[in-house]
Chains A and B, each alone.
Chain A
């Protein structure tokens, strides 16, 4: 109990933030897994990190460039402060989903092939950006890029809360359209729903959620919580509503428990959260198998 008290006292935003990050990822993960675009989740986490790495590359003053285009005279420092890593993380991820959402019509390459190219390029440019970063040594920048649940700040907590509200609102408002196009885009188009537009909206929301969550909690946590809770939900539920309920519950409950385990046994919190979720998945899978 003492450890728990210490943990709550020292890292209140980490605990609350991990719950929010877990819910965001597990909710979006249901669509990622059911759409069979799991690789998109992996790609977006890497692209988001490449975006963060880009923000450390102060060789290109995009902020000053945009300001000059808009004819705004401002102090460079002010803009640099506002265009923080999360901005680039979001920008890179949204550019990727816009490209990806257009690929289903072309027949030259498979979507997997396109995602594979983006994936390796994202990793490569991240390494290049880090090497040219003037602000710190490579390992230090790498650790900043990877994020850490334990160091979720108050601002990051509120940002995560805003992402959650945004994501849930979009899916609540447009659930019919999003449900139909993610189920069967071709028929949705035939029945008068603009599938192209709704799929783009879907991917933009997914890109926003994944990129910002990755920025705050790291790529390993984000990717794992996109896949594992949704897979558990699909494994055990016979109703769509229950898939959402179980996935989101797993996403909400496992991260704070993992932080406790990590704190008590002196592990890194992100990997512990992933392994804990995996153990739960394994148990559920084996029980399901044994029950036939």
Chain B
């Protein structure tokens, strides 16, 4: 049985004294693959930031093993004017390990090279980050998170605005990371079908509404209606979930 690595007990999260979500009870085990879904403003980012320790709990308790987090932000939030290379960007993942007086060493460079190789970006390491396509930028940010050598990987809407091939190629990469590197993964996405077909468990949330559990239990039409205040059609074709709003043609 996998070990429990994160536990929220009666937790309230939010900014300052304003709670967005209360009564959160959540137990995450090693190698979990969790999707976080909910409408805009539901508290997904707040939950992530609390998980990362960047925001304090308003009340309750959170226990974390000594975890190392790799974080992949929405790529639109990273638009540098300076011509950083792909290698420069991925190397930033090593900066938290070296204090002010410690230089980047051969080991750091080796880890960066390995991260780039793993995501298939080694050939582009000297390219300007700004000159990359959306998919390549996202892969670079994933490589940076891998350079942290994380036990938990957090991805915030990684496929937003991507073309279809890049979109599915990235989802494949995320699945591969989970399977091959035994990473615990949190994936935030608005795309319910993607989440349903890739993750094992899901956190469904809206303001003061919180559900957590295996996909087959949580992603029901009833729960989705409570979360999004809209009707959804949940079906399975050849073992794959298809989730569509009910005003769309049913498949």
Interface set of A (CB-CB < 8 Å, partner B): 30, 33-34, 36, 173-174, 176-177, 179-180, 183-184, 186-193, 234, 237-240, 243
Q: Does B236 contact A (CB under 8 A)?
A: no
CB B17 to nearest CB in A, in angstroms, measures 14
Q: Which of B81, B83, B100, B141 is A33 in contact with, Cβ under 8 Å?
A: B81
> Chain A contacts of B95 at CB under 8 A?
176-177, 179-180, 188, 191, 193
The interface on chain B, measured as residues whose beta carbon lies within 8 A of the other chain's beta carbons, has a size of 30
| Contact in complex: B78, A184 (CB < 8 Å) | yes
Interface flag for B144 (CB, 8 Å) = yes
Interchain CB contact under 8 A, A186 and B82 = no
Q: Which residue of the partner chain, among B71, B100, B104, contacts A187 with CB atoms under 8 Å?
A: B71
Bound form: Cα–Cα A190–B73 in Å: 10
Q: In terms of DSSP, what is the predominant structure of the interface of chain A?
A: helix
In the bound complex, residues from chain A placing their C-beta under 8 Å from that of B85 are 239
- Tell me which residues across on chain B come within 8 A of A183, comparing CB atoms: 78, 80, 82, 84, 89, 92
Contact of B73 among A33, A184, A239, A240 (CB under 8 A): A184
Q: Quick one: which of B84, B89, B100, B148 contacts A191, CB cutoff 8 A? A: B148
Q: Are A34 and B82 in contact (CB under 8 A)?
A: yes
The reply to whether A190 and B78 contact each other, CB–CB distance below 8 Å, is no
CA distance A180 to B54 in the complex (A): 16
Is B52's beta carbon under 8 Å from chain A? Answer: yes
Verify B100–A193 contact, CB threshold 8 A.
no
- Assess whether B83 is in contact with A243, with CB atoms less than 8 Å apart: yes
The one of B92, B104, B128 that contacts A184, using a Cβ cutoff of 8 Å: B92
Is B96 touching A234 in the complex (CB atoms < 8 A)?
Answer: no
For the complex, give the distance between the alpha carbons of A33 and B83 in Å.
13
Interface majority SS (helix, strand, loop, mixed), chain B: mixed
- 10 additional A-B residue pairs with CB within 8 Å, beyond A187-B78, A243-B83: A174-B100, A176-B98, A183-B89, A184-B77, A187-B144, A190-B54, A191-B148, A193-B95, A234-B81, A243-B82
Which of A33, A180, A187, A238 makes the CB contact (< 8 A) with B128? A238
Instruction: Specify which chain B residues have a CB less than 8 angstroms from the CB of A240 in the assembled complex.
Output: 82-84, 88
Chain B, Cβ-Cβ closest to A196: B54
Q: Does B47 contact A (CB under 8 A)?
A: no
Interface members, chain B 67-115 (any A CB < 8 Å): 69-73, 77-78, 80-85, 88-89, 92-93, 95-96, 98, 100-101, 104
A190 and B77 in contact (CB under 8 A), knowing A173-B101, A179-B92, A243-B82?
no
Q: Inside 8 A of A239's CB, which chain B residues have their CB?
A: 83, 85
Residue pairs across A and B with Cβ atoms less than 8 A apart, 16 shown, are: A33-B81, A34-B82, A36-B81, A173-B100, A179-B95, A180-B92, A183-B80, A184-B78, A187-B71, A187-B73, A187-B78, A234-B81, A234-B82, A237-B83, A238-B128, A240-B82
Q: Does B185 contact A (CB under 8 A)?
A: no
A-side contacts of B81, CB under 8 Å: 33-34, 36, 234
Tell me, rounded to whole Å, the shortest Cβ–Cβ distance linking A284 to chain B. 16
| Interface contact B69-A190, CB-CB below 8 Å | yes
Chain B residues with CB under 8 A of A34: 80-82
Which chain B residues border A173 with CB–CB below 8 Å?
A: 100-101
Provide the residues of chain B in CB contact with A190, threshold 8 Å. Answer: 52, 54, 69, 71, 73, 154
CB distance from B158 to the nearest CB of A (A): 13
